[in-house]
Amino acid sequence: MPDGFDYQAFLSLDSTNKEAVRQAHMGAKSGFWISSIEQTEGRGRRGRKWASVSGNLYCSLIYDSQSEIYKASQLSFVTTLAVCDTVAECLEGVDVKCKWPNDVLVDNKKISGILLETFSKTPKDPIFMIIGIGINIQDHPKLTLYEATHINEHTKTDFNADDIFSILTQKMAYWLEIWNVQGFATIREQWLKHCKGLGENICVRMPNEELMGRFVDLDSNGALRLAIGDEIRLIHSGDVFFDTTKNNKRK
């Protein structure tokens, strides 16, 4: 573990995020990692089931947000950069991109999932962020909203969950340090350098609306700035799909 972090591993859990909450109730501090070989109730964004077969990485980090809820969205980008760097270190020469809001793509296929949740014992107690991370290593689900892939599909090296977790904890410590010292502006800049679809036409699907427009950039808090004609819409949550038929890039 990097300095300031601790770790506990399990054979099987309902979910690492749920275990993180239980550990926080028992006094676990910020910087505490939890991993499990399998999950029986893995979850993704919007309550979607996250397939959790043995061989992939399932882990969660308890992190003190200093009671600033707005930092939750910023931590999503910090985590995405850490996962992107982790995957890129394993797959030299392979196209690894960040996808808004918190996915990582390999050759345009989803390879990871990130789920951030908040926890506090009482309204007066510190607010912790529970950062859940799943990375496909030896297998990937076949019937999903996005086409998926896994690390070992792109390399002759037989990576396992311990290998990837070791890299991830180092990358996460690095990007958390950058964020804490330099602020979100640096995280935003680095994320945009690695993102998929910048300047292109995309489709954003939300529960009650579907929008088509050009992905301009991110605002100062990480919201997606979508150009629709002469109007700029700020999108705070949604599912992004890439429009390959109108691939109009910025000039």
Q: What's the pLDDT tens digit per position in 147-171?
A: 899 999 999 999 999 999 999 999 9
Residue 120, pLDDT > 90, answer no
Average pLDDT for 6-12: 95
User: What counts of helices (H) and strands (E) characterise the chain?
Assistant: 4, 13
Question: How far, in Å, CA of 235 to CA of 52, rounded?
Answer: 30
Residue 226, pLDDT > 50, answer yes
Q: Which stretch, 43-47, 67-71, 205-209, 247-251, has highest mean pLDDT? A: 205-209
Paired tokens of 60: 């969660």
The confidence score (pLDDT) of residue 246 equals 44
The confidence score (pLDDT) of residue 244 equals 44
170 phi, psi to nearest 5 deg: -70, -45
Which amino acid appears at position 138 of this protein?
Q
Residue entry with tokens 């939750």: 72
The confidence score (pLDDT) of residue 207 equals 84
Question: How far, in Å, CA of 63 to CA of 130, rounded?
Answer: 6
pTM for this structure? 0.91
| % pLDDT > 70, the chain | 90
Tell me the domain boundaries of the chain.
6-193, 201-242
Q: CA torsion sign, 118 to 86 to 218 to 65?
A: positive
Question: How far, in Å, CA of 151 to CA of 140, rounded?
Answer: 9
pLDDT digits (tens, 9 = 90+) for 157-209: 999 999 999 999 999 999 999 999 999 999 999 999 999 999 999 999 988 89
* C-beta of residue 221 within 8 angstroms of C-beta of residue 73: yes
Average pLDDT for 221-248: 83
Collapsing DSSP to helix, strand or coil, 120 comes out as coil
Q: Name the CATH architecture for the domain at 201-242.
A: Roll (2.30)
Average pLDDT for 130-158: 90
Collapsing DSSP to helix, strand or coil, 187 comes out as helix
- Rounded mean pLDDT of the chain? 89
**Exposure of 202 in the CB half-sphere (CA atoms within 13 A):** 25
Domain 6-193: state its class. alpha beta
Residue 248, pLDDT > 50, answer no
pLDDT digits (tens, 9 = 90+) for 16-62: 999 999 999 999 999 999 999 998 887 655 455 655 677 899 999 99
Residue 250, pLDDT > 70, answer no
Question: How far, in Å, CA of 231 to CA of 184, rounded?
Answer: 25
Residue entry with tokens 């427009």: 213
Q: CA torsion sign, 186 to 187 to 188 to 189?
A: positive
Question: How far, in Å, CA of 119 to CA of 17, rounded?
Answer: 10
Question: How far, in Å, CA of 62 to CA of 14, rounded?
Answer: 17
